[in-house]
Structure 1
């Protein structure tokens, strides 16, 4: 149970930190003329992530916080995803946000994990939503929220981002 509490609190702390950073970045971008895109879906993403955390807590509790036999491997993958999250946030700097906001006149960032992946933060989120429940045998949570999150990302969020980024005809030079 201790591992569950530590990881659960870590994820909650991380989400709160991300909200704080995102609000600062949003204010900075909007002060410079930033434009928000597809804001209608954002509350649904908040609901999805909140429901995921509650479902994870409930199902893990029902399973007495029992660990999956291969939990060390899942933990290593989870920690690797956290490293990718940090790299993603630092690569985007002030342009990182929970909302889709573009800043006219800027270039598309192509450094860090963005050299190889278009949406690395979504890979992190998908990994978390799958790995955490599996680690604690919360299989219903893993299946349901992996599917719901994938639908949200692939049918709503990523298309909104792609349309928002179409206005950019310039990309930052790739790192060597």
Structure 2
């Protein structure tokens, strides 16, 4: 099997991981709304979904269209970062439990989680997303996708973090 085919399988696997996140997110959203959860920042969510979908599509298209090579030292080190980013993301999901969501839904009166990776950073999941957004494309030298995603993601995260911080502050006990 060619390196391009293996890379496409990796990107598909990351896409399937995103689908699993959405399933978990929908369950958590239902729980949050049943417990008085309030959603904030609906306007940026479709843009965030578009940017993340663009990452996956861009990875595959750039490798195919621009005939990007697999550079072993770069590819293997970036694959390690992709795996690490996935581990951090699922650590965040596990630590936040029902409070984790792909949307900004906050149940008023709940304490902020300060365990796990949240002991070290206020938004560790977004660090994992940023790392993955650079590393996944660079597994197969799709550097244009890495740059475009990084810029677009920074713009989305600027809004997302501001919305999330306001929502958490308003709902604090």
* TM-score computed with the length of structure 2 as normaliser: 0.92
* 1:24 maps onto 2:36 in alignment: no
CA distance in 1, matches of 2:78, 2:56: 18
In structure 2, runs of 5+ residues without a counterpart are: none
Match of 2:131 in 1: 127
CA distance in 1, matches of 2:82, 2:49: 21
Output one character per residue of 1:132-152: Cα deviation in whole Å (capped at 9) or x when no partner.
Answer: 111211111111111110111
Match of 1:174 in 2: none
Q: Residue 72 of structure 2 aligns to a residue in which SS?
A: coil
Match of 2:161 in 1: 158
Q: 2:36 aligns with which of 33, 36, 39?
A: 33
Q: Is the 8 A contact 2:38 2:105 kept in 1?
A: yes
* 1:144 maps onto 2:148 in alignment: yes
Output one character per residue of 1:124-165: Cα deviation in whole Å (capped at 9) or x when no partner.
Answer: 1111110111121111111111111011102x1000011111
Match of 2:47 in 1: 44
Q: 1:78 aligns with which of 66, 79, 82?
A: 82
CA distance in 1, matches of 2:59, 2:5: 15
Q: Is the 8 A contact 2:79 2:139 kept in 1?
A: yes
CA distance in 2, matches of 1:145, 1:56: 10
Count of matched residue pairs: 169
Match of 2:119 in 1: 115
Q: 1:56 aligns with which of 33, 54, 59?
A: 59
Q: Residue 122 of structure 2 aligns to a residue in which SS?
A: coil
Of 64-73 and 94-103, the range deviating more from structure 2: 64-73
Q: Is the 8 A contact 2:109 2:172 kept in 1?
A: no
CA distance in 1, matches of 2:136, 2:125: 16
Q: Residue 167 of structure 1 aligns to a residue in which SS?
A: helix
Match of 2:93 in 1: 89
CA distance in 1, matches of 2:171, 2:45: 23
CA distance in 2, matches of 1:45, 1:161: 14
**What value does the CA root-mean-square deviation take over the aligned residues?**
1.4
Q: Residue 43 of structure 2 aligns to a residue in which SS?
A: helix
Q: Is the 8 A contact 1:48 1:149 kept in 2?
A: yes
In structure 1, runs of 5+ residues without a counterpart are: 171-176
* TM-score computed with the length of structure 1 as normaliser: 0.90
